[in-house]
Amino acid sequence: MGIATYQAITLDASTATGTFPASGGLAYSGGEKTFAIYGTWGGATVKVEAAFDDGTTAANFIPLSDAESSELAFIDNSIFRLVLGQCRLQFKITGSTSATSLSVKVS
- Tens-digit pLDDT string for the chain (107 aa): 567 788 888 887 778 889 999 888 999 999 999 999 999 999 999 999 999 987 677 678 999 998 899 999 999 999 999 999 999 999 999 999 888 999 999 98
CATH classification for the domain delimited by 5-106, as one of 2.60.120, 3.30.420, 3.30.360, 3.90.70: 2.60.120
Q: Residue ranges of the domains in the chain? A: 5-106
Q: Alpha-carbon dihedral of residues 102, 24, 107, 4, nearest 10 degrees?
A: -60
Alpha helices in the chain (DSSP H): none
Contact (Cβ atoms closer than 8 angstroms) between residue 37 and residue 102 = yes
pTM attached to this predicted model: 0.88
